[in-house]
Structure 1
Amino acid sequence: MSSDVGHDEVAVPVGWRARLRQIGPGIMAAATGVGAGDLVATMVAGSRFGYTLLWAVLVGAIFKIALAEAVGRWHLTSGRTLLSGWRTLGKWVLVYFGAYAVVWGFVYGATAMSASGLPLNALFPAISVRYWAMLCGVLGFLLVWFGRYTLIEKVMTAFVGIMFVTVVGTAVLVAPNLLDAAGGFVPRLPEGSFVYVLGLVGGVGGTITMAAYGYWTMAKGWRSSRWLSMMRLDNTVGYVTTGIFVVAMLIVGSELLLGRGIVDGDEGLLMLGGILAADYGEWARIPFLIGFFAVTFSSLIGVWNGVSLLFADWWRTWRLPASAPEESPADYDRKAGVRSTVYRGYVLWLTFPPMALLFLDRPFQLTVAYGVLGALFMPFLAGTLLVLLNSRRLGPEGRSRWLSNGLLTVCLVMFGYLAVDRLIGLFS
């Protein structure tokens, strides 16, 4: 992992102030998982159903906390990385992940760059979306190529602060009806809302990036079960912050777009900026676009770093002989960390080949393709975690109990249904 983190475990913090200063990987995982597609899904749900589906955001936060906690618990209690765990399930798991990561990375690279370029083009139209997108890709590439984990975490935390203040501030500006909003936390399913509910539940932060959470905890120096309590606090803070952010976006959609015909895709977010300018003045549009950029570019940075770590570990794990013993953290850092050839090769793969797709000028189609690919990963993650965390080879403190198993099972069924629905929608 990053060379600025020693191979020896750092001291577990004592006291709330010290624990709060350690928070970071959960913020990174949650912020990476919320992108332009999630903002669009939330905005569309608010425009069609008002506050009625607010409860789905709360449910989504609970499920994502459960998934990320399971990933972190595996890393802290097994002494293995997630890829090493998948290796024990059979070669097919590694084949699936490797093929998925290559295809997903190519599509996501273009999607992330395009989504980051849209708000910058709206702010500075002299440069087209395509070239803003390329500049964002190169900037993210340079940051994760040369930056250490501590720097990346600080940059990501700053972007989270920006997106939180701007989007929550916009929600306050539009003067939400608090009574109606409170009623939205009572579970209801209006006609035609089921798929939107699944989209909101799935949109509270993360697809493949959730699997990177354990690698960021390792980069932070958390390497044993003594860190379980800290990991759970970190994870909860990250997804509660994201949940508040998504609630704010749904409020904005409900107050400004309810009953209006809106444009699907990332362009719909720009349309929302135009409505803010018309209703409140340009001073309201600019902060929203800055928040839009913070959302999209923080996702780009997180993926460029986190999924590259996953892919580098996949390569390390793939090359291990079947009978090879598990390697030490020092071996892992050397062979799959940020200085490894495979890590840097995947960063290159995310950045430069996808630029060819930017010349198609189809940002919405890229978002749709990315949404379908993202939906295919979540049931895979939930299913494999169910198997790994109920294995007798894992110590009692690492094994799942009824609550974790129940939530992971619901995630498997729910995200499996969503994946099938996305596939049917793609081909129909």
Structure 2
Amino acid sequence: MLGTAVLWAVVVGAFFKFVVTEGLARWQLATGETLIEGAVGRLGRGVVWLFLPYLLLWSFFVGSALMSATGVTLHAMLPVFEDAARGKVVFGIAASLAGLVLVWFGGYRLFEAVMRACIVVMLVTVVLAAGLLWPGTLPVLEGLFVPRIPDAGGQGLSWTLALIGGVGGTLTVLCYGYWLREEGRTQPDDLRVCRIDLATGYLLTAVFGLAMVIVGSSISIEGSGAKLLVTLSSRLEEVMGPVGKWLFLVGALGAVFSSLLGVWQSVPYLFADCWGLLKGGVSDASTRVDTQAAPYRAYLLLIATVPMAGLFWGFRDIQLAYAVTGALLFPVLALALLIFNGRSQWVGPAFRNKPLTIAVLMVVLLFFSWIALRPLV
């Protein structure tokens, strides 16, 4: 068990993701292009042919992992199946179809409203659960400001790296640019609003992550796979009573379903944009992806159905595949932002990378390269 010693890793992970996403927003507001559009315009369409296989692979593993996580959570809340693995499959499929219907018929505004509700629920419930299990102010402060990596049976480093890499999403940071267009933020003057928006979002992400670590560090459990959350919720009920158990489960459901909904809504933007670029389409700052058109809807159907096959894999295996494929993208993003935002001819002197940003992006490049290569080596 890692305990509160790794609270610092949550903050580091959220900060890394903030720097990368801010760089993506800065590029788009300066040029009117998403990063993919900018790369194709300067490097050619070969960028899309390199990116699409990764997008398909990532979509399968992440789609499966999110269905699996949502299915496990729903099974813990409604244990109508004796076999936890079966409950994971049934509930995971149901959650995926629910997300599909919401995105298909609701559009961006309904998605935005549901996401906000899920985020509020998950923050309030999990933070309350962490408060009920508060381990003490001193251990929490030490975990935040004194970086340590516990041994954890020889797995402390691996779990700490996974915690840093898993905070705040992976490929979905590329989708932030499409949300900017949906919100009508297309001018360089909008950068200040974007920075406030991103800082608030990643601050809330860090708070949620800290609360989850505190909850996990306060309960000693054994077990793995689909039964793990059932066991955890039972232990929480012993320690905090039914209220504490349900606070945690409702918050966990808000977290995993909002993640699923976010991926279902946002990732088809990437495919639709790539499709348009391959056909020679040119976007400008105000061009929105047509979410009613075939490319977007076809990929939405694909991501909500094909990864269901992964529900029959082991819970741990699919989560590991998700972590590895997600980590592979971040070194590429960091390198691209170092190059693209490093040229005044492309973004202008005011939007060019500052020395501190360059230093952080170099750390992100090296760190996520290490995360991506460790499981393979």
Matched to 2:124, the amino acid is V
**What's 1:141 paired with?**
100
Q: CA deviation at 1:361?
A: 5.0
Residue correspondence of structure 1 range 27-426 to structure 2 within 5 A: 47-48=1-2, 50-87=3-40, 88-126=42-80, 128-184=87-143, 185-191=145-151, 193-257=156-220, 262-265=222-225, 267-320=227-280, 326-329=282-285, 332-333=287-288, 336-358=289-311, 360-391=312-343, 392-424=345-377
Whether the 8 Å contact between 1:78 and 1:398 is mirrored in structure 2 is: no
Q: CA deviation at 1:90?
A: 4.1
Q: CA deviation at 1:407?
A: 1.0
Which digits, 9 at most, give the CA deviation of each residue in 1:237-285, with x for residues without a partner?
A: 000001011111111122223xx5x445564333221210122222221
Matched to 1:368, the amino acid is L
- Alignment partners' CA distance in 2, 1:282 and 1:384: 49
- Alignment partners' CA distance in 1, 2:253 and 2:219: 20
Q: CA deviation at 1:190?
A: 4.4
Which digits, 9 at most, give the CA deviation of each residue in 1:129-173, with x for residues without a partner?
A: 222111111111111112222221111011001110111111001
Matched to 2:370, the amino acid is Y
Whether the 8 Å contact between 2:162 and 2:323 is mirrored in structure 1 is: no
- Alignment partners' CA distance in 1, 2:225 and 2:140: 25
- Alignment partners' CA distance in 1, 2:78 and 2:160: 35
Q: CA deviation at 1:64?
A: 1.3
Whether the 8 Å contact between 2:233 and 2:249 is mirrored in structure 1 is: yes
Q: CA deviation at 1:108?
A: 2.1
Which digits, 9 at most, give the CA deviation of each residue in 1:354-397, with x for residues without a partner?
A: 22333x25232211211111111111211112111113222222
Which digits, 9 at most, give the CA deviation of each residue in 1:81-117, with x for residues without a partner?
A: 2211121234443222111111221222222112111
Q: CA deviation at 1:198?
A: 2.2
User: Secondary structure of 2:38's partner?
Assistant: helix
Whether the 8 Å contact between 2:135 and 2:214 is mirrored in structure 1 is: yes
Matched to 2:5, the amino acid is T
**What's 1:30 paired with?**
none
Matched to 2:195, the amino acid is R
Whether the 8 Å contact between 1:106 and 1:349 is mirrored in structure 2 is: no
User: Secondary structure of 1:148's partner?
Assistant: helix
Matched to 1:51, the amino acid is T
- Alignment partners' CA distance in 2, 1:203 and 1:175: 23
Q: CA deviation at 1:421?
A: 1.0
Instruction: Note the residue ranges of structure 2 that are not aligned, 5 or more in a row.
Output: 82-86
Which digits, 9 at most, give the CA deviation of each residue in 1:303-328, with x for residues without a partner?
A: 011111111111111222xxx8x433
Matched to 2:21, the amino acid is A
Whether the 8 Å contact between 1:108 and 1:350 is mirrored in structure 2 is: no
Describe the shift of the 1:370–1:190 C-alpha distance in structure 2 as closer, same or farther (beyond 3 A).
closer
Describe the shift of the 1:114–1:288 C-alpha distance in structure 2 as closer, same or farther (beyond 3 A).
same
RMSD over equivalenced CA pairs, Å:
1.9
**162-171 or 384-393: which moved more?**
384-393
Describe the shift of the 1:167–1:402 C-alpha distance in structure 2 as closer, same or farther (beyond 3 A).
same
Matched to 1:294, the amino acid is G
Matched to 1:70, the amino acid is G
Q: TM-score, normalised by structure 2?
A: 0.91
Matched to 1:275, the amino acid is R
Matched to 1:68, the amino acid is T
Which digits, 9 at most, give the CA deviation of each residue in 1:27-54, with x for residues without a partner?
A: xxxxxxxxxxxxxxxxxxxx23x22222
Matched to 2:194, the amino acid is M
User: Secondary structure of 1:53's partner?
Assistant: helix
Q: CA deviation at 1:76?
A: 1.1
Residue correspondence of structure 1 range 7-22 to structure 2 within 5 A: none
- State the aligned residue count: 366
Describe the shift of the 1:233–1:272 C-alpha distance in structure 2 as closer, same or farther (beyond 3 A).
same
Matched to 1:232, the amino acid is R
**What's 2:84 paired with?**
none
**What's 1:21 paired with?**
none
User: Secondary structure of 1:281's partner?
Assistant: helix
- Alignment partners' CA distance in 1, 2:105 and 2:69: 24
- Alignment partners' CA distance in 2, 1:362 and 1:411: 30
User: Secondary structure of 2:209's partner?
Assistant: helix
- Alignment partners' CA distance in 2, 1:141 and 1:221: 25
Matched to 1:295, the amino acid is A
Whether the 8 Å contact between 2:166 and 2:323 is mirrored in structure 1 is: no
Whether the 8 Å contact between 1:71 and 1:211 is mirrored in structure 2 is: yes
